[in-house]
Amino acid sequence: MTTRPTASASSFTSIDSLCCRAGAGFADGQPLVTPIVQSTTFCREGVDSRAEHQYSRVSNPTVSALEDVLGALEGAPPAVCFATGLAAETALLLALLKAGDHVVCGRAVYGGTTRLLQQVLGPLGIEATFVDSTSPAAVAGAVTSRTRVVFIETPANPTLEVTDVRAVAAIAHRAGARLVVDNTFLTPVLQQPLELGADLTVTSTTKFIDGHSVAPGGAVVTRDAALAERIRFVRKSTGAIQTPQHAWLTLQGLKTLPLRLRAQSASATTLAHWLAAQAAVARVHYPSLGDPELAEAQHLGAHGAVLSFELLGGLSAARQVAGALRLCRLVEHVGSVETLVTHPASMTHADLTVEARAAAGVRDGLLRLSVGLESIADIRADLESAFATVTAEVAR
């Protein structure tokens, strides 16, 4: 069992216990489950009141309960939670950067991250260079005297390449920059970026942490208390805090996160090996197939539930298979209990330029699979019959 380094508010430290008792009450007469505090504002005794909660754009008790546990999972002060993962990314970048600053970003990251940097922050005078973050030399080569942030996603989306967090952290720190790791695919259960030297993690809780496709959310965690305060200030000033309803649903999802993630990862590993042997498949991307040594060293016992594969038949085969799948559903999402399939070129990465897509390794025949909790036999049968429609098409 994995343990987090320090426990502040509670008497246990294991990831499993922290998750399953997330936000739970212990005292006499307390509700066992965190209540949803559905109130925009909070009463004050007088104008000098220092009450913990005053207005729900600034803080809310249900959101705070989620923040406490998400911080504790990484041995850090409370997380800062947002309405979505991209709201979290926006706030942390606004907290760290100003016009004239430079960002080095992995080229294989969530499409929305690339869009945010290129099309929203770029025009504000924040420049970004996209590099292959799996090569520390490429990261080092892109760093300039103006670099303030190095942003990576590992394993990356959708190619599942693994970046050496320790190596990239050393490069960032030598340049006086901070390393941000998007930990959405593995969560603190399977990867602890702060332990590996990262300064901040950002997680789209919309995915595995919620796990049931019901509550959008994002979280930023850092052990730098002053920086956390700055991010909280940006959140208050820009207004993208998570709602109490969504924080509550996320807390409910968190309780079973370790169980779900380990079971879904085991199925994904089995399916990755099976897919690699299929005639319709040109290539399979999964962390333990790409860089097994680094994946083993960096991940906590499993490699996540997301894999991707390229079909020999390219775009037409990908369209055909995506349309023929019945159990696996075609959606723009990962991390839920259902097996979900995405065609990145036309969905998550559709807004990128053709060149940016190519650089990110998003080929037209690539399908991404987020493996759910169904039986492997059922998922395999679904894929098998979808592949058969492609073969039939080619044979005709």
Please give the C-alpha separations between residue 246 and each of 23, 38, 85, 372, 388, in angstroms, as whole numbers: 14, 11, 13, 22, 41
Q: For residue 339, what is the enclosing H or E element? A: none
Residues that bind ligand PLP (CB under 6 A): 84-86, 110, 112, 153, 157, 182, 184, 204, 206-207, 216, 218, 334
Q: Kindly tell me which of 157 and 267 has the beta carbon lying closer to ligand PLP.
A: 157
Q: Can you say whether the dihedral through the CA atoms of 270, 271, 272, 278 is positive or negative? A: positive
Omega within 30 of 0 (cis) for the link into 61? no
- Name the residue nearer to ligand PLP (CB basis): 295 or 386: 295
Closest distance to ligand PLP from the beta carbon of 61 (Å)? 22
Catalytic residue among 107, 148, 178, 207: 207
Candidate list 57, 115, 236, 380, residue with the active-site label: 57
Does the active-site annotation cover 110?
A: yes
Residue type, 363: R
Question: Phi and psi (nearest 5°) for 147?
Answer: -70, 125
What are residue 105's DSSP bridge partners? 130, 151
Q: Select 188 or 313, whichever has its Cβ closest to ligand PLP.
A: 188
**Could you say which of 101, 132, 164, 182 is catalytic?**
182
Using the minimum distance from each CB to ligand PLP, give the nearer residue, 102 or 246: 246
Two tokens, residue 256: 């079973």
Give the nearer residue to ligand PLP in terms of CB position, either 206 or 222.
206
Give whichever of 280 and 307 is closer to ligand PLP, judged by the CB atom. Answer: 307
Is the preceding omega at residue 77 within 30 degrees of 0, hence cis?
Answer: no
Residue closest to 81 by CA, chosen among 63, 105, 102:
63
> 103 is written with which tokens?
């960002």
In the complex, what is the shortest distance from the CB of residue 87 to ligand PLP, in angstroms, rounded to a whole number?
A: 7
Residue closer to ligand PLP (CB basis): 117 or 317: 117
Shortest CB 93 distance to ligand PLP, Å: 13
Catalytic residue among 4, 68, 101, 110: 110
- Sheet arrangement for strand 102-106: 80-82, 218-222, 200-204, 178-182, 147-153, 102-106, 127-131
User: Cβ 158 to ligand PLP, closest distance in Å?
Assistant: 9
Nearest distance, CB of residue 42 and ligand PLP, angstroms: 27
Pairing outcome for strands 147-153 and 102-106: parallel
Shortest distance in whole angstroms from residue 83 CB to ligand PLP: 8
Q: 103 or 390, CB closer to ligand PLP?
A: 103
Residue nearest ligand PLP by beta-carbon distance: 85
Distances from the Cα of 8 to the Cαs of 73, 131, 137, 202, 254, in angstroms?
A: 11, 38, 38, 21, 19
CA 268 to centroid of chain Cα atoms: 17
CB 181 within 8 A of CB 152: yes
CA distance 229 to 102: 22
Distance CA 225, CA 202 (A): 16
- The helix (run of H) or strand (run of E) holding residue 199 is none
* Contacts of 112 by beta carbon, 8 Å cutoff, 6+ apart: 85, 86, 89, 348
Q: Closest distance between ligand PLP and the C-beta of residue 85, in Å?
A: 2
Question: CB of residue 206 vs ligand PLP: minimum separation in angstroms?
Answer: 4
Catalytic residues: 57, 110, 182, 207
